[in-house]
Structure 1
Amino acid sequence: MKKGFVSIVVGLALACSASAFAGAGDMDMSGSSGHKASSTAGSMSHGEVKKVDAASGKLTIKHGPLENLGMEGMTMVFRVKEPAMISQVKVGDKIDFVAEDLNGALTVTKLQVQ
């Protein structure tokens, strides 16, 4: 009886570890989340323009979660990738945008006024 029980437990343990090993083929073990970031980089975040600083090329935006950057909603200052983006918005505008970390600076790379 004991031998049968041990055999069942060992068999279940092997089956579980084999299924876990088989599923590991889809995992990125490189330590980078580059694929995930690139697939969500195109998804727009929502926000409201709180301040426009044309002289320095920056926007202060109160925004919801920035999934591609792993950030929760807050109000913060962003650089703009293209200076023409500054002229597209004014304080109070509701916007959809994509922000990315470019050379250590959070930068709006896409912008649409709602």
Structure 2
Amino acid sequence: MKNVFALIAVSCALAISASAYAAGDTGNMDMSSSSAKPAGENAAMSHGEIRKVDAAAGKLTIKAGPIENLGMEAMTMVFKVKDPAMISQVKVGDKIDFVAEEVNGVATVTKLQKP
């Protein structure tokens, strides 16, 4: 019986130490995306197509090309809009140029125009 408990204890210790080793020391790592660039006035416009308009929530679903300033590849994603007036400018199927930024941890369209 002692051997069983010893075996369990050693197995647990090995599993925990393996997990700790795999996690490594991340205290000095820069977790920000190295490919992301600052947004703002100099942010390049991204191109997309409106897939859904949710006026009540102030959100647009956009099938977007790469969003370089956020380091994102092409994808379809839901974005909040900075200005609720943007919602009335578009409808499903519209092609748009836009700037998206991270605002309070949320992907937000800060500038929008039709080409």
| TM-score past 0.5 threshold | yes
The Cα RMSD (Å) is 2.1
Question: Is 2:108 aligned against 1:112?
Answer: no
Runs of 4+ in 1 over 3 A off after TM superposition: 38-41
1:95 corresponding residue in structure 2: 96
Letter of the structure 1 residue corresponding to residue 72 of structure 2? M
Q: CA deviation at 1:38?
A: 3.8
Preserved contact between residue 41 and residue 100 of structure 1 (Cα < 8 Å): no
Q: CA deviation at 1:101?
A: 0.3
Q: 1:87 to 1:112 in 2, by over 3 A?
A: same
Instruction: For 1:57 and 1:100, locate their aligned partners in 2 and report how far apart those are by CA, in whole Å.
Output: 15
Alignment of 1:21-100 (within 5 A): 36-38=37-39, 42-100=43-101
Q: TM-score, normalised by structure 2?
A: 0.66
Structure 2 unmatched runs, 5+:
1-29
Q: TM-score, normalised by structure 1?
A: 0.67
Letter of the structure 1 residue corresponding to residue 63 of structure 2? K
- DSSP 3-state at the match of 1:86: helix
Once the two structures are superposed, what CA deviation does each residue of 1:18-63 show, in whole Å capped at 9, x if it has no partner? xxxxxxxxxxxxx676x94147852100000000000000000000
Instruction: For 1:39 and 1:106, locate their aligned partners in 2 and report how far apart those are by CA, in whole Å.
Output: 14
Instruction: For 1:65 and 1:91, locate their aligned partners in 2 and report how far apart those are by CA, in whole Å.
Output: 20
Q: CA deviation at 1:69?
A: 0.4
Specify which structure has the higher proportion of helix.
1
Structure 1 unmatched runs, 5+:
1-30
